Structure 1
Amino acid sequence: MSGSPEASRVVSAYRRVLPAYTRYRIAQHITPEVRSQVKKRIAEVAAVPQQVDRIRVQRAVRRRPDLYSGPDRIPVTVDHQPRAAFVHEDLTPLLARRENLDAVLDALEGAGIDHFCVRGAFDRSSTVAVADRDRPRVLRALARLCERTPGCVTPIPHGESREPRFCEPGHQPGVWKRAAAAGAVRLTWFHTDPEGRLVLGVPYGCDVEFWTEETPGVLTAPRRNRVTEVVPASGAPVEASDSLFTRLAPAGRDPLPPVRTRAEFTAARPDDVDFPVDVVYTWVDGSDPEWLRRRAQAAGQAYHAEAANAARYLSRDELKYSLRSLRMHAPWVRNIYLVTDDQVPAWLDTSVPGLKVVSHKEIFSDPSVLPTFNSHAIESQLHHIDGLAEHFLYFNDDMFLGREVVPQDFFHANGLTKFFPSPANVPQGEPSELDVPVSVAGKNNRELIEERFGTTLTQKMKHVPYPLRRSVLHEIEEEFAERHRTTMGNRFRSLDDLSIASSLHHYYAFHTGRAVPGNLRYSYVDLALPDTPDRLARLLARRNRHAFCLNDTVSTERDVEAQLALLGPFLEAYFPLPSRFEKSDRRETR
C-alpha cells in the first residue's frame, strides 16, 4: 500500500487527528505493525463524519431540489450541515457581501418597505435598517425570499455586539418565530467557486435591524454602530456608494454601486483611511541559471551559513499564492510592485494594470554595487520606486494574508504606521559571526537607535507585512547616510548590515512620532520543524489568522520536493482561486 492513494489518505488522517508529540510517543513505544493498524483505524473513524455529511447533503437535495440544485448553485457542506451555494467564477469576500446585500434590498424594495443602509460594526457583512413597525411585512418578505432561494437566517438579540457564526435554513418556519422578537436578523446566502473549494457564508451576510420609535419622531437602533444610534423617523433618504459601508472597499476609487441610506451615515469619519496604499514584494528565483551565474561570479560571500543557505533563494511559487491572498483579503490595495533582479515568474502576467515589475537597476542609487544577493541591501532602496505611494506594505513572498484585513490594521487615518513587535528578543552584546543575520542586523539597528534617541531596542518584529512610509525611509537614508550606504553596498549578508524595512523604520518612526505598536493575529511556521503538517492543518481549518509566514532558512535543495508535496496542497486549498495577475492560459487549464 506504500505510496498509494489509500496510504496517503491513512497517513493524512493520522497526522490530522494526532498532534506531533503524540505521534512521537507512539513511535517510541509501539511497533510499526501495531502503529500501522492504529493509523488505519484512525482513518476509518475520521472518514465517518465525511460519510455522514454526504448522506445529509443527499437527503437535503432530495427534499428540496428546487433550493439545492440549479444551473447557478451546488450543494456544499458547512460545519457538517448541507447548504446550497451560488457559484461564481470570480468569487471574493467583497462579492459575497454585496450579493447578500442586494438580495435583501431587492426583497425590501419589492415589498415597498422603507429602509436605509447603516455603517455597522463589521466590514465583511452589511447592515440595513427598517422601522420596527414594519417588522411583520419585513419578515414576510424575507421569508418568501428564503422559500424561493436557499437563504439562511440568524436571529440576533437586542444589543448583541458579537458577529454571528451560525444560521438556520430560512425555509423552515421555526426560525421566523424566533426572529419576531429579535433586534436584528442576519440573512445569508452561501457562495462558492465552481469546484466548491472555497465557501463564503455567515460572516458575509446582511443584517436587517429593527429600529424602534421609542421617542415620537425618532428611530433608535437595536445595537451600536459606527455613526449614530438615533435618526429622525421622517429623515430624507440619500444615495451613497456602498464603499462607505465597508473598509474592505478601495478608498476614493472604484466605488461600489450606490445604496439607499441617511445623510448621517455619509459623513467622513476621523478614522477613515482616504490615502492610497500600495504593496511591494521582493522576489528571487534561485534556480535561474543566469542568476546562479551572476551569484557565482560576484566577489565575496555571506558571513554566516544561514545567509548563504539555498533555502533563502528557493521558490515554491509562494508569490503566486501570496498575490491570491491579496486578491481575496485586501481589495483596497492600489498598486503592486514586484522588485526583482530582472526576473519574472513564468506564470505572471505583467500586462495587467495595477502590477509593475521593478528591476534593481531602477531603484539602486548606486547601480555599481549590483548585482546584489543581500535582501537587506535591496530593502534599503524600496523607497526609490517610481510612483510608489507614501504609505505602502512590504511583503516577503513567504507572507500571506489569512483572512480579510483593512487599511486600519496597518495605518491610522492620520498617517501613522503600525508595527508589530515580536516576543523574540534581539540578543545582547556586539554583532558576532556566530549570530544569525537577523540578530546581527537587529544589534546594528539597536546601536543607531541608542545613539540617536537614547533608548535600547530589545524586540524583533513579527514576520507580517510591514507598514512603511517613503518619507521616513528617505529620512533614514539621510540621517544614517554612511551606514545606509554600507548596507546598500554589501552584496551578501554582512556583519554591518541594517534591517531597515523590517525593523529600523518602525523604531525610528516610533521615536519621531510617526508609528505606534499594533496587533494582528499571526502565525509563523518554520518549514523545517516536524510539527509543520499539524500547524498547516490548523491554519487551514480555522482560517482565523490575519497573516501568516511560511519561512525556511535551513533546508536544502534536497528538501524541496518533500516541502512542495506538503505546501502545494495546503496553499492550493487555502487560496484556490487565481488572481488576475496569473496568465489566462494557466487559469483556464486549472
Structure 2
Amino acid sequence: MEKIDFVVTWVDGNDPIWQTKKAHYQTKNPLLNSEARYRNWQFLHYWFRSVEKNAPWVNRIFLITEGHLPSWLNTAHPKLVHVRHEDYIPAEYLPTYNSNVIELHIHRIKELSSQFVLFNDDMFLNRQMRPTDFFSAGKPRDFGIFSPLVPQANSLDTVILKMNQLINQHFSKQSILKGHFSQYFNLKYGRQLLKNFCVLPWQGVLGFYDPHLPVAYLKSTFEDVWQIEQAELERISQHRFRESDDISHWLMRYWQLASGNFEPQPISVGKNYLIGELPIDIEREINQGKHSLVCLNDNDFLKNFNRAKEMILTAFDNRYPEKSAFEK
C-alpha cells in the first residue's frame, strides 16, 4: 500500500511578531479575515495525541506554519516535518495570511507523498482509523454527493460559487453520472443520497456536499488542476488575505469528485461542530468518540471564547491525558 502523509496547517494568532506583520499588510475584507480565522485554541497538542493513538500507521506529518512553533513540540520526532511558507510557496506570493494560498500550493512540498490527508488544526481523529478509511484502491475516500449552494451573509459562498463555475466549465453532470453512477448513488451516503435524486432535473452541477472534514488527496490532482487553471490560481495566489473571489483547495476536491477519482465514504465517518457558548455536544463527542473525524469550527458569533475553550480543553485532556512522542 502507498504511504499516506498527514498535512496540518497551524498559526499562532497570539504571536506578537506575527500580529505586527499581519497588521502592516491588512487593509481590507475584515469579515473574511476576522479574529476567528486566526485565534489559538491551544488544541494542537491534542491533535498530535489523537493522531498517535488513532492513526499510528501514518507515514509523516507535515506541520505548515508561518515560521513559529509551539514550545512543547518535539521537532526531533522522525515522523515530523516542519514546513515554513517560504519552503514551498513561491516568493512573489509571500508573506501570505490567506489560508487558501497556503493550501493551494501544498503539492509543491517536495517530500510529500503522492497520497496525503489535509487537516486544519481544528480537525481531529477521534476514533481508531485505518489507511483504507482514507484511500481505497489508490483513490481518496470521499462523498459523491451533490448539494445546491444556499447563499448566506458574511460567508465564503462566493468562493464556492466560483469553484462550481470552474467545475461546470470542465465537466457536465451528465458525464459525471454516466461514468461514475455507482459512486454517486451509493447507500453509504444515507439520507444525504436524496440530494442526488433531487438535483437530477437540473443540467449543471449546482454544488457539492461540503462536510468540512479532513480531505484525502492525490498530489497529482493538484498538479493537474494547476496545469489547467494556472492563470486563475496564480491570480488568487496574489491575495495576501482572503477575498470574496478566492479559490480554496476544495477546487481540487471537487475535481476528484467530478472526475470520479474517489471511492465512496460512509456519511457517518465524521461530523462538523460549530462551537457554541456551552459546547456540551462537543464535550460528549470528544469523550464518547461517536465519529472518527470531527471538526470544531470557530465562528464570529462566539461571545465567551474563554469559557468554551476551557470546556473543550478539559474534554480533550480527559480523552487524551498522556503526552504523545511529539511533545517534549
1:476 paired to 2:222:
no
Which residue of structure 1 aligns with residue 22 of structure 2? 295
CA contact (8 A) 1:311 1:553 kept: yes
SS across alignment from 2:282? helix
Over alpha carbons, which structure has the higher Rg?
1
1:549 paired to 2:295:
yes
Alignment of 1:360-509 (within 5 A): 360-364=85-89, 366-413=90-137, 415-420=138-143, 425-427=148-150, 434-437=153-156, 439-455=157-173, 456-500=205-249, 503-509=250-256
Alignment of 1:15-26 (within 5 A): none
**C-alpha displacement at 1:291, in angstroms?**
0.7
**C-alpha displacement at 1:298, in angstroms?**
0.9
Which residue of structure 2 aligns with residue 280 of structure 1? 7
The CA distance in 1 between the partners of 2:208 and 2:248, in whole Å, is 13
**C-alpha displacement at 1:522, in angstroms?**
1.7
Alignment of 1:191-230 (within 5 A): none
CA contact (8 A) 2:211 2:271 kept: no
Q: Deviations over 1:124-154 (max 9, x none)?
A: xxxxxxxxxxxxxxxxxxxxxxxxxxxxxxx
Q: Number of aligned residue pairs: give it.
A: 296
SS across alignment from 1:348? coil
Which residue of structure 2 aligns with residue 510 of structure 1? 257
Alignment of 1:497-576 (within 5 A): 497-500=246-249, 503-519=250-266, 520-527=268-275, 529-530=276-277, 532-533=279-280, 535-554=281-300, 559-576=304-321
Report the AA paired with residue 409 of structure 1.
D
Q: Which is bigger in relative contact order (C-alpha 8 A, separation at least 6)? A: 2
Q: Deviations over 1:355-384 (max 9, x none)?
A: 0110100111x3122111111111101111
CA contact (8 A) 2:279 2:308 kept: no
Report the AA paired with residue 169 of structure 2.
E
Would the alpha carbon gap of residues 555 and 359 (structure 1) be closer, same or farther in structure 2, given more than 3 Å must change?
A: farther
CA contact (8 A) 1:449 1:457 kept: no
Give aligned-pair identity as a percent: 29
1:334 paired to 2:83:
no
Higher strand share goes to which structure?
Answer: 1
**C-alpha displacement at 1:316, in angstroms?**
1.5
The CA distance in 1 between the partners of 2:93 and 2:77, in whole Å, is 31
Q: Deviations over 1:544-565 (max 9, x none)?
A: 2111111112157x73321222
Which residue of structure 2 aligns with residue 579 of structure 1? 324
Would the alpha carbon gap of residues 449 and 278 (structure 1) be closer, same or farther in structure 2, given more than 3 Å must change?
A: same
The CA distance in 2 between the partners of 1:424 and 1:571, in whole Å, is 33
The CA distance in 2 between the partners of 1:564 and 1:573, in whole Å, is 14
Report the AA paired with residue 416 of structure 1.
K
**C-alpha displacement at 1:482, in angstroms?**
1.4
Q: Deviations over 1:419-458 (max 9, x none)?
A: 2367964236xxx9x4512x22211110000111123142
Q: Deviations over 1:86-126 (max 9, x none)?
A: xxxxxxxxxxxxxxxxxxxxxxxxxxxxxxxxxxxxxxxxx
Report the AA paired with residue 472 of structure 1.
T
* Runs of 4 or more consecutive aligned structure 1 residues displaced over 4 Å after TM superposition: 421-425
CA contact (8 A) 1:309 1:555 kept: no
**C-alpha displacement at 1:299, in angstroms?**
5.0
Report the AA paired with residue 448 of structure 1.
L
Would the alpha carbon gap of residues 310 and 552 (structure 1) be closer, same or farther in structure 2, given more than 3 Å must change?
A: same
Structure 1 gap ranges (5+) = 1-273, 584-590
The CA distance in 1 between the partners of 2:148 and 2:71, in whole Å, is 39
CA contact (8 A) 1:277 1:392 kept: yes
Which residue of structure 2 aligns with residue 314 of structure 1? 39
The CA distance in 2 between the partners of 1:321 and 1:518, in whole Å, is 25
CA contact (8 A) 2:64 2:82 kept: yes
SS across alignment from 1:497? coil
The CA distance in 2 between the partners of 1:424 and 1:552, in whole Å, is 23
Alignment of 1:32-43 (within 5 A): none
> What's the TM-score once normalised by structure 2's chain length?
0.84
Would the alpha carbon gap of residues 499 and 541 (structure 1) be closer, same or farther in structure 2, given more than 3 Å must change?
A: same
CA contact (8 A) 1:392 1:469 kept: yes
SS across alignment from 2:117? strand
The CA distance in 2 between the partners of 1:485 and 1:517, in whole Å, is 32
The CA distance in 2 between the partners of 1:374 and 1:325, in whole Å, is 27
1:351 paired to 2:99:
no
SS across alignment from 2:13? coil
Would the alpha carbon gap of residues 510 and 580 (structure 1) be closer, same or farther in structure 2, given more than 3 Å must change?
A: same
Would the alpha carbon gap of residues 400 and 470 (structure 1) be closer, same or farther in structure 2, given more than 3 Å must change?
A: same
Which residue of structure 2 aligns with residue 222 of structure 1? none
CA contact (8 A) 2:55 2:129 kept: yes
